[in-house]
Amino acid sequence: MTPALRYGHAATAAAVVFITAAAYLAHTGHWLAAAALIYTAALFTWIATREYAQHRRTVAEHDWARRQALGEQPPPLDPCCRLGRASYGAAHDHLCTDRTTRQTDDPRSAA
């Protein structure tokens, strides 16, 4: 279990609690508070989806690193790394799964 998976579960639980509270408040006629809680629940749902995506990426990176350590030549992940995605392929971080890239943020490769 990665920390992201724990945060994803916590955000999902919080969203369920907020939806339940919003339903109760809507039932008792407190529409403004219910709307605020629905907005908060939507925010926590988005947080949960981001945390679950982070968990899947971490598991895929670990699986890729394990396969490479065992001598296999696994294909690069898509996207190859987080910096590569953020920079549209202009730069890559030291954990990049595409070994054909030349520019990295690894200080050892600057020599």
Write down the residue that tokens 């920390």 correspond to: 3
One of 96, 100, 106, 108 touching Zn ion (CB under 5 A):
96
Q: For residues 30 and 89, which CB has a smaller minimum distance to Zn ion in the complex?
A: 89
CB 37 within 8 A of CB 22: yes
Please name which of 58, 104, 97, 55 lies closest in space to residue 74, comparing C-alpha atoms: 97
Does 80 bind Zn ion (CB under 5 A)? Our answer is: yes
Does 25 bind Zn ion (CB under 5 A)? Our answer is: no
Q: For residues 43 and 76, which CB has a smaller minimum distance to Zn ion in the complex?
A: 76
Q: Which stretch binds Zn ion (CB under 5 A): 14-22, 32-40, 49-57, 72-80?
A: 72-80
Instruction: Provide, rounded to whole angstroms, the least separation between the CB of residue 85 and Zn ion.
Output: 8
Instruction: Provide, rounded to whole angstroms, the least separation between the CB of residue 91 and Zn ion.
Output: 8
How many chain residues interact with Zn ion (CB under 5 A)?
6
Beta bridge partners of 104: 92
CB 86 within 8 A of CB 70: no
CB atoms within 10 A of CB 100: 8
What 3-state class would DSSP assign to 101?
A: coil
Give the binding site for Zn ion (CB under 5 A): 80-81, 84, 92, 96, 98
